[in-house]
Amino acid sequence: MSGSPLDPQTLQAVATALEGAERVLFITGAGISADSGLPTYRGVGGLYEDAPTEEGMPIEVALSGRIFRTRPDLSWRHIRDIEGACRGAQPNAAHRFIADLEGRRPGTWTLTQNVDGLHRAAGCHNLIEIHGTVHGLHCPRCGWRDRVSDYAELPALPRCPDCDAVIRPDVVLFGELLPPAAVATLQAQLARGFDLVFSVGTSGLFPYITAPVLEQADCGATTVEINPGETELSHRVDHRIQAGAAAAFTALAQLMAGR
């Protein structure tokens, strides 16, 4: 494993791997959106620390599927906080690098834990939003769906215009299963294999985030971690760049442009 903050040798090695890869998988977490002004600490969308909510319950409870079914007003209050933190944020250099690479190399895919929609805003289409997005709304009762840019005009407890049931955003709440369509897409792409896999700005706490890195490595893929901190993957990847995502991808873009 090679690595240090923006180490030229590591950057050269990663740039070389990028140039030779036809299929690239980027796995991204809250850290990639930090340079867009979004918080990185825990909670859906990276918005809460370990302190309890004002109701005295852990955020994992307030934002659980169980509480949404019984106290949707409480869950919606915190979902609004998440959307408010995302509102107005713009894709940064890391998001744009990935979208640009996808545009030039159709075998590029992104698996993101983030619900902020910044990958899509940057132009990514081969996108697996494994935790959903705050910009989608749906009715669990009748299936009504819509997309919104922000929640500013939504009532405190939004209801379906067709059946008057409480609607919800297209995000995976605590205790809920991952969306089957997203899981199926991920499995299909992993079965095809990748030449290069990046873990970017994610702590790698979930098995479905770390497993693709390790499984593809076992199949011969080159693996890269971009993260200023240390994670479960830090000593298991081929190359480690200890820096923020925007800085790392800006350096890689400059290096590749000069070749």
Q: Where are the domains of the chain?
A: 2-37+90-131+177-257, 59-87+137-171
Does residue 53 surpass a pLDDT of 70? no
Count CB neighbours of 143 within 10 A. 10
Sheet strand arrangement including 168-171:
145-147, 132-138, 168-171
Catalytic residue chosen out of the listed positions 78, 119, 131, 239: 131
Are 2-37+90-131+177-257 and 59-87+137-171 in the same CATH fold? no
- Given the candidates 3.40.50.1220, 1.25.50.10, 3.40.50.720, 3.40.50.300, the CATH classification of the domain at 2-37+90-131+177-257 is 3.40.50.1220
| Tokens at 97, concatenated | 């690098």
| Tokens at 48, concatenated | 């809460």
pLDDT: which is higher, 99 or 57: 99
Strands (E), 85-180: 108-112, 127-129, 132-138, 145-147, 168-171
Find, among 225, 257, 258, 249, the residue nearest to 91 by Cα: 249
- The Cα–Cα gap between 4 and 8 comes to 9
Does residue 196 surpass a pLDDT of 80? yes
What's the distance, CA 181 to chain centroid? 16
Q: Which helix (H) or strand (E) holds 226?
A: strand 222-226
Concerning whether 131 is annotated as a catalytic residue, the answer is: yes
Residue 205's pLDDT band, with cuts at 50, 70 and 90, is confident
Mean pLDDT, the chain, integer: 91
- The Cα–Cα gap between 3 and 250 comes to 17
pLDDT tens-digit series, residues 152-173: 989 999 999 999 999 999 999 9
Residue 72's pLDDT band, with cuts at 50, 70 and 90, is very high
- The Cα–Cα gap between 8 and 18 comes to 15
Contact assessment for residue 142 and residue 167, using Cβ atoms and an 8 Å cutoff = no
pLDDT tens-digit series, residues 20-35: 999 999 999 999 999 9
In this structure, whether the domain defined by 59-87+137-171 belongs to CATH 3.30.1600.10 is answered with: yes
pLDDT: which is higher, 69 or 44: 69
Q: How many angstroms separate the first and last alpha carbons of the chain?
A: 24
